[in-house]
Structure 1
Amino acid sequence: MTTANVEVESLKGEVDRLRLEVQTLQAKQGHEQVTLGHYLLTRLTQLGVKHMFGVPGDFNLGFLDLVEDHPDIDWIGNCNELNAAYAADGYARIKPNALGVVTTTFGVGELSATNGIAGAFSEMVPVLHIAGVPSTTQQKKRPLLHHTLGDGRYGAYAEVAKQITVHTAWLDNVETAPRMIDEAIIQCMTKARPVYLTLPTDFVTAEVSSERLNIPLQRVVSVNDPPTENFVVDQIEKLVREAEGDVVIIVDACVFRYDVRDEVKEFLKKTGFPVYAAPMGKTAIDEDYERYGGIYVGSITDPEIKENVEKAKLIISVGGVQSDFNSGMFTYGFPTSRHVELHSTHTHIQYAAYPGVGFKHLLPKLTERLQSYYDLGSKIPVIPYKAKIPAEETDVITQRYFWPRIGSFFKPNDVIVTETGTANFGILDVPLPPKTLLVSQIFWGSIGWSVGATLGVALAARDLGLGRVVLFVGDGSMQLTVQEISPMIRLGLKPIIFLLNNNGYVIERTIHGKHRKYNDIADWKWTQLLDTLGDRETETKSFKVTNQAELESLLQDAAFLDSDCTTLVEVIMDRLDAPRLLADGVAINKRAARAATGKVDDD
Structure 2
Amino acid sequence: MAEITLGRYIFERLNQLKVQTIFGVPGDFNLSLLDKVYEVEGMRWAGNANELNAAYAADGYSRLKGLSCLVTTFGVGELSAVNGIAGSYAEHVGVLNLVGIPSISSQAKQLLLHHTLGNGDFTVFHRMANNISQTTAFISDINSAPAEIDRAIREAYIYQRPVYVGLPANLVDLNVPASLLQTPLDISLKPNDPDAQQEVIENVLELVSKAKNPIILVDACASRHDCKVEVEQLVNATKFPVFTTPMGKSGINESHERFGGVYVGSLSEPEVKEFVESADLILSVGALLSDFNTGSFSYSYKTKNIVEFHSDYTKIRQATFPGVQMKEALQNLLLTIGQVTASYVPGPVPAPRRFNSPAEANTLLSQEYLWNRVSTWFREGDIIITETGTSAFGIVQSRFPNNTVGISQVLWGSIGFTVGATLGAVMAAQEIDPKRRVILFVGDGSLQLTVQEISTMCKWETTPYLFILNNDGYTIERLIHGETATYNDIQPWNNLKLLELFNAKNPENYRVSTVGELETLFSNKNFNENTNIRAIEVMLPRMDAPINLVKQAQLSEKTNAEN
TM-score, normalised to structure 1, is 0.90
Query: C-alpha separation between the residues in 1 aligned to 2:366 and 2:381?
Result: 27
Contact 2:277 2:302 in 1 (8 A): no
| 2:546 equivalent to 1:579 | yes
The 2-side partners of 1:202 and 1:474 are apart by 44
SS of corresponding position for 1:561: coil
Residue aligning to 1:485: 454
For residues 425 and 147 of structure 2, the distance between their equivalents in structure 1, rounded to whole angstroms, comes to 30
In structure 2, relative to structure 1, the CA distance for the partners of 1:258 and 1:563 (3 Å cut) is: closer
Q: 1:80 to 1:592 in 2, by over 3 A?
A: closer
2:123 counterpart of 1:148: no
Counterparts of 2:356 and 2:440, CA distance in 1:
21
Whether the 8 Å CA contact 1:388–1:404 is kept in 2: the answer is: yes
- State the distance in 2 between where 1:559 and 1:48 align: 32
- Counterpart for residue 16 of structure 1: none
Choose which of 125, 128, 132 in structure 1 pairs with 2:100. 132
Look up the SS of the partner of 1:129 in the other structure.
Answer: strand
Is 1:528 aligned to 2:503, yes or no? Answer: no
1:190-210 Cα shifts (integer Å, max 9, x gaps): 111000111111111101123
Q: Distance in 1 between matches of 2:515 and 2:495?
A: 19
Tell whether the 8 Å contact from 1:272 to 1:375 is kept in structure 2 after alignment.
Answer: no
Matching residue's letter, 2:270: P
Percent identity of equivalent pairs? 44
Following the alignment from structure 2 to structure 1, what is the Cα–Cα distance between the partners of residues 412 and 170?
36
Partner of 2:159: 191
The 5 Å alignment of 1:446-465 reads: 446-465=414-433
1:508 aligned residue: 477
**Partner residue in 2 for 1:326:** 293
Q: Is the 8 A contact 2:280 2:303 kept in 1?
A: no
Distance in 2 of aligned mates of 1:371 and 1:572: 50
* 1:60-75 matched pairs, under 5 angstroms: 60-75=30-45
Amino acid corresponding to residue 479 of structure 1 in structure 2: Q
- What are the Cα deviations for residues 5-61 of structure 1, in whole angstroms up to 9, with x where unaligned? xxxxxxxxxxxxxxxxxxxxxxxxxx9222111111111111111100111111111
The answer as to 2:174 corresponding to 1:209 is no
**CA separation of 1:64 and 1:303: change in aligned 2, threshold 3 A:** same
**SS of the residue 1:315 aligns to:** strand
**How many angstroms does 1:454 deviate by?**
0.3
Aligned equivalent of 2:24, options 54, 57, 61? 54
Asked if structure 1 preserves the Cα contact closer than 8 Å seen for 2:358 and 2:515, the reply is: no
Letter in 2 for 1:137: S
Most deviating of 576-585 and 412-421: 576-585
Contact 1:424 1:440 in 2 (8 A): yes
Given that 1:271 and 1:378 are in contact with CA atoms closer than 8 Å, whether structure 2 keeps it comes out as no
Cα offset for 1:308? 1.4
Greater Cα offset, 352-361 or 478-487: 352-361
CA contact (8 A) 1:287 1:433 kept: yes
Contact 2:313 2:322 in 1 (8 A): yes
Match of 1:115 in 2: 83
Matched with 1:494 is: 463
Counterpart Cα distance in 2 of 1:327 and 1:459? 32
Aligned residue-pair number: 561
Deviation at 1:335, TM superposition (A): 4.6
Higher helix share: 1
CA contact (8 A) 1:386 1:431 kept: no
Unaligned runs of 5+ in 2: none
In the TM superposition, residue 135 of structure 1 has moved relative to its aligned partner by: 0.8
Asked whether the equivalents of residues 103 and 132 of structure 1 are also in contact (C-alpha less than 8 Å), the reply is yes
Q: Retained in 1: the 8 A contact 2:461–2:504?
A: no
Q: Following the alignment from structure 2 to structure 1, what is the Cα–Cα distance between the partners of residues 186 and 62?
A: 15
C-alpha contact 1:189 1:218 (8 A) present in aligned 2 = no
**Which residue does the alignment assign to 1:43?**
13
Shift of 1:150: 0.7
> In the alignment, does 2:218 pair up with 1:242?
no
1:28 corresponds to: none
The alpha-carbon deviation at position 312 of structure 1 amounts to 1.5
What whole-Å deviation, never above 9, does each CA across 1:393-448 have from its counterpart, x for those lacking one?
A: 88221111111012111111111111111100000100111111111111000000
Q: 1:340 aligns with which of 289, 296, 307?
A: 307
Whole-Å Cα distance in 1 between the matches of residues 344 and 44 of structure 2? 49
Q: Look up the SS of the partner of 2:335 in the other structure.
A: helix
Q: Provide the rounded CA distance (Å) in 2 between the counterparts of 1:336 and 1:32.
A: 63
Match 1:164 to one of 132, 136, 146:
132
Contact 1:387 1:430 in 2 (8 A): no
Please report how far the alpha carbon of residue 211 of structure 1 lies from its aligned counterpart in structure 2 after TM superposition: 3.2
Q: How does 1:36-435 map to 2 (within 5 A)?
A: 36-95=6-65, 98-244=66-212, 246-335=213-302, 337-377=304-344, 379-385=346-352, 388-389=355-356, 391=358, 395-435=363-403
Q: CA deviation at 1:371?
A: 0.5
Structure 1 unmatched runs, 5+: 1-30, 598-603
Shift of 1:273: 1.0
What amino acid maps onto 1:569 in structure 2?
I
> Aligned letter for 1:70?
V
Q: Which letter does structure 1 place at the counterpart of 2:287?
A: G
SS in structure 2 of the partner of residue 325 of structure 1? coil
Query: Does structure 2 conserve the Cα–Cα contact (< 8 Å) formed by 1:91 and 1:100?
Result: yes
For 2:161 and 2:8, locate their aligned partners in 1 and report how far apart those are by CA, in whole Å: 24
- Let me know the Cα RMSD of the aligned residues: 1.7
Structure 1 residue 527: Cα displacement: 1.1
Distance 2:252 2:353 in 1: 15
